[in-house]
Structure 1
Amino acid sequence: MDYNGGTENQNSGNRHKKWYQKTGWIILWLILFFPVGIFLMWRYANWKKPVKIVISAVFAFLIYSGFTASKLESINIQADTETVYNINEQIQIKQVVQPDNQTITATAYKTTGGKVKSSDNKMFFTNDEPGTYEVYAEASGIKSNILTFKIEDKTAILKEKAKKEAAAAKKKAKEEAAAKKAEEERLAAEAEAKKKAEEEAAAKKEEERIAAEAAAKKAEEERIAAEAAAQQAEQERIASEQAAAQAQQPQEQMVWISATGSKYHSYSSCGNMNPDNAYQMTQAEAEASGYGRCKKCY
């Protein structure tokens, strides 16, 4: 068999065919738009019939599979959205799709921050920044429900809490110290005021005592003076009465009597008499009282 001759005849035949009748273009149409490619293959390609049948069967199967395959109907994702999560913590997302033979990958997930990744056929959402984030899945024009996660930097929160507690404790200690100092100052002021009041009261009491003593002394002096005046008045009255009586009676001779002596004297300068406590009476009164004559004077 002359293969070279056959090839040459085939190439010569291809050169006389129109462009869409050529083998290369038929293969291209099978790839780009297979219905046209199938038609051109059966109409113009001089391939063996079994080859044409196999190619047609493959494309028929693909068409049948496309029409009979089930389509994605719904996507429902579930997770614990009540918990407040820490940054970088893995949050599992459970997905329920209908029909159940459909699957969606991590690339179908949309987020407002963070990322969704698959691990051991499970979906996990993580984020390294605190905040509130929404997550949903979308595939084949079907959109799932939206999950909202709250993320916190719990280490930073604990540090901030400890910082605030330390500041509050410091402020409280400062306020307590200020309150203690104020209380001590108040007590000291009260003690000082009490001491001053007691001193003033004691001084006033002392002044009143001194004034009372002065008043009592003055009253006593006035009483003594009054008594002396009364005694003087009485003596003057007696003297006046005696003078009046003497004026009515003959004048008797007066003598001097010493308070400690037993004699009467004719003059006060007698050396036998103490003139400091001497007084006068009549000679008759002296003799009647038991006094005798002073030998020096008489």
Structure 2
Amino acid sequence: MKWYQKTGWILALLVLCFPLGCFLMWQYKKEWKTTSKAGASAVFAVFFLAVLLSTFSSDTTQTAALTDQLKTVQAEKQELETQIESLSADLSALNDENQTNAAKIEELQDQLETAEQTIASMADSDSTEELQSQIDALQSENTKLTEENEKLAAQSASASNSSKSSPDATVSSGADAPSQPADTDSQIVLVTKTGSKYHNHKCGNGTYYEATLEDALARGLTPCKKCF
């Protein structure tokens, strides 16, 4: 008798591999009753189906778990790709800003070099002497103008005092002769040292001095709208 015809191997195959064990049982166990073989076939068939379904269910559960893990990995991968794109954009912006700052630094360095050259040229003794000579010339001219203004103010004051000291002569000459237009060249006006207009009275703050209208016009002064 061969090994697969023995009862023990047939029962083992019914448990481990039901289709093969069932075939061997019906083929070589003629002495078993049909009802016994049918009952054994039914019992082992149910057991085999239960094991098969359990295995399939476990595989299905594992497949679902693996599918969920795969979806999670794909979502994480997509999120990482999005973060990488965002970081790439930020890096590009930083590179552009870095280039802009580098250009500004170069421009500032050029300006600094130009300023240093200017300072060096101004520090030259010849340039310093030339500037000092110009300053001295301006101060001298300013002194001359101040002296001339003082002389004109003194002359104006003297002329004003002379006109005030002889009112009778003015009145008599006005009575004897027809009225003559006033000499505008000898008219006395008021001028401030820093002003650009002449006045006939002190209409504002400042230090006024008297001057002739001729001198005011020669200096390019215009009449004050508040006074005239």
**Shorter-chain TM-score above 0.5:** no
TM-score by length of 2: 0.39
Question: Which structure is higher in strand share?
Answer: 1
* Greater Rg over alpha carbons, structure: 1
> Scaled by the length of structure 1, what TM-score is found?
0.31
